[in-house]
């Protein structure tokens, strides 16, 4: 049973393809592990929600929504330019 101090996952997190995966895979500097994470993301039904979460919360590290850090920075630059 979860402690009351542990927040419940949001609805999209419950459907994440990575929910049973090793979180280290998504924060590894190793290219082959990053590819493994990106492949999971490619088949994930909540990829868009995950990416928006990462952008809104300024997640600087790791793979979120099928993107690496650099790609998220680029998306944010494009959004600022378009605003």
Site residues for ligand SF4 per CB under 6 A: 16-18, 26, 40-41, 44, 46-47, 50, 63-66
Residue 10 or 73 having the CB closest to ligand SF4: 10
The distance of closest approach from Cβ of residue 30 to ligand SF4 in the complex, given in angstroms and rounded to an integer, is 16
- Rounded to whole angstroms, the Cα distance separating 7 from 22 reads 19
Residue 72 or 79 having the CB closest to ligand SF4: 72
- Rounded to whole angstroms, the Cα distance separating 32 from 11 reads 29
Half-sphere exposure for 13 (CA within 13 Å, toward CB): 7
């Amino acid at each position: 049973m979860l402690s009351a101090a542990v927040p419940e996952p949001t609805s999209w997190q419950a459907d994440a393809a990575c929910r049973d995966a090793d979180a280290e895979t998504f924060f590894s500097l190793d290219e082959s592990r990053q590819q493994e994470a990106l492949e999971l993301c490619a088949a994930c039904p909540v990829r868009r929600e995950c990416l928006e979460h990462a952008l809104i919360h300024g997640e600087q590290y790791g793979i979120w929504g099928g993107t690496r850090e650099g790609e998220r920075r680029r998306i944010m630059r494009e959004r600022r330019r378009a605003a």
